[in-house]
A = this chain, B = another copy of it.
Amino acid sequence: MAQISASAGALLRHVRTGRARSRADLVALTGASRNTVSARVDQLIAANLLAEGGRGWSTGGRPPTLLQFNSRAGCVLAVDLGVTSVDVAVTDLSAQILATVGHPIDIADGPAPVLAEVDRLAQKVLAEAGLAPVDVCAVGVGVPGPVEFSTGRPSHPPIMPGWHDYPIPSAFGRFGCPVYVDNDVNVMALGEVGIAAAPQDVLVVKVGTGIGCGIIVDGRVYRGAQGSAGDIGHIHVAQPDGRTVVCRCGNENCLEAIAGGGALLRDAVAAGLPVSTTREVVELAAQGDGPTLELVRNAGRTIGTVLAALVNFFNPHRIVMTGGVAQAGAPLLAGIREAVYRRSMPLAARALEITVSDAPDLSGRVGAALMAIEEYLDDDAVQQTLAP
């Protein structure tokens, strides 16, 4: 639905995303009066978030003065917390990485030592970029487990012992800025979508040990009633041969029990392949080993039957596959596409793109930065600063 807003945050978003390059563009785009637009643009210039520079093409009359988003008006810290490693980056306000550093950790050591390490890394990247804590406008953190987004506290995370209900934002108190925490799949989904000029509806499906999905509606993360949206790993899939597989959740024939990384390893071992980790299965497939390729393709088909239903329901612009198993690439995609195109409605499938992530290692950091930037620039604190 058309929801045209001419708030300062909305005008800034139009310039940031490249939809508008001048005051005239903003007037045309929002329907607000020239005076309103100009007053708010002047506020954004005074706040150093917009800059004027150069002249555009004239379409009759005086050529317009071009507006540019000043992505160097501040910086954000982006933290991509994994089970065995953490990456910290400092980026500008367009999520360009200025400095980044990674370090091994063990998430099971609990919040205190892990977040102390994160703080050390944060100081390091800020120093490397020649920035000070006071320059940090916002912090974004992705963690490998469910999070109550409004408080930044993990909620019974299965693979983060000791982290339940821990107030992660408190660890960043010395930056004196907002801190946003979300689960890694939602954060990676933002990273995959980037700062899109055309707000799109996208599914980012992570196939690692488990299977999860980040849902992007109109360029933003969709979380649902309890924040558990995208939890597709436990959708039931019928097995053609009537086989029953018990999932770690206790239910039978969940998607991830049949087609996740753990399942892939189990089936490879059962087939006598010389592997002991999921990564080795993916590497064997990359080497073109026939039986392994067939296992991966079958996992893709199973994932595809679930995605086919979600394509009919959600009608996304695109689906991006990521996570360790997605590194298998072509055979996984082939299986997914086969099932999706066989079972989805033609209208929904016609223009649908299904791809593997280009930069799976970066999307966590870029997504954490984008989460922080988007929340910060839309935040009431900023609105308040800018309101007349």
Q: How far is the CA of A351 from the CA of B225 in the complex (A)?
A: 9
Produce 1/0 per residue, A249-287, CB < 8 A to B. 101000000000000000000000000000000000000
Asked if residues A226 and B315 are in contact (CB atoms below 8 Å), the reply is: yes
Produce 1/0 per residue, A203-232, CB < 8 A to B. 000000000010101001111111111111
Does A104 sit at the interface, judged by CB under 8 A? no
Does A317 sit at the interface, judged by CB under 8 A? yes
Asked if residues B231 and A312 are in contact (CB atoms below 8 Å), the reply is: yes
Does A359 sit at the interface, judged by CB under 8 A? no
Asked if residues A1 and B31 are in contact (CB atoms below 8 Å), the reply is: no
A333-388 with Cβ < 8 A to chain B:
343, 345, 347-348, 350-352, 374-375, 378-381, 383-384, 387-388
Cβ-closest chain B residue relative to A306: B309
Contact partner of A225 (CB less than 8 A), chosen from B36, B201, B249, is: B201
Q: Which residues of B contact A348 (CB under 8 A)?
A: 224-226, 228-229, 231
Which of A225, A314, A347 is packed against the most chain B CB atoms within 10 Å?
A: A225
Does A9 sit at the interface, judged by CB under 8 A? yes
Cβ-closest chain B residue relative to A35: B388
Which of A62-70, A128-136, A233-241, A322-330 is found at the contact surface with chain B? Answer: A233-241
Q: Which residues of B contact A217 (CB under 8 A)?
A: 217, 222
Q: How far is the CA of A35 from the CA of B388 in the complex (A)?
A: 8
Contact partner of A6 (CB less than 8 A), chosen from B230, B305, B383, is: B383
Interface residues on chain A, number (Cβ under 8 Å): 67
Q: With A35-B388, A380-B4, A381-B31 given, is the CB distance from A200 to B225 under 8 Å?
A: yes
Asked if residues A235 and B384 are in contact (CB atoms below 8 Å), the reply is: no
Cβ-closest chain B residue relative to A237: B238
Q: Which residues of B contact A380 (CB under 8 A)?
A: 2, 4, 30-32
Q: Which residues of B contact A352 (CB under 8 A)?
A: 225
Does A118 sit at the interface, judged by CB under 8 A? no
Q: How far is the CA of A375 from the CA of B249 in the complex (A)?
A: 44
Q: Which residues of B contact A48 (CB under 8 A)?
A: none
Asked if residues A4 and B220 are in contact (CB atoms below 8 Å), the reply is: no
Q: Which residues of B contact A177 (CB under 8 A)?
A: none
Closest 6 CB pairs of A and B: A224-B315, A31-B380, A238-B238, A229-B315, A225-B317, A235-B309
Interface positions of A (Cβ within 8 A of B): 1-7, 9-10, 30-33, 35-36, 200-201, 213, 215, 217, 220-232, 234-236, 238, 249, 251, 305-306, 308-310, 312-317, 343, 345, 347-348, 350-352, 374-375, 378-381, 383-384, 387-388
Known: A2-B375, A231-B348, A313-B314. 13 other contacts (CB 8 A): A2-B379, A2-B380, A5-B383, A6-B7, A7-B10, A33-B388, A201-B229, A217-B222, A225-B348, A225-B352, A231-B315, A234-B312, A238-B238
Q: List 8 A-B contacts (CB under 8 A).
A: A1-B221, A2-B379, A3-B9, A4-B9, A5-B383, A32-B387, A217-B222, A224-B348
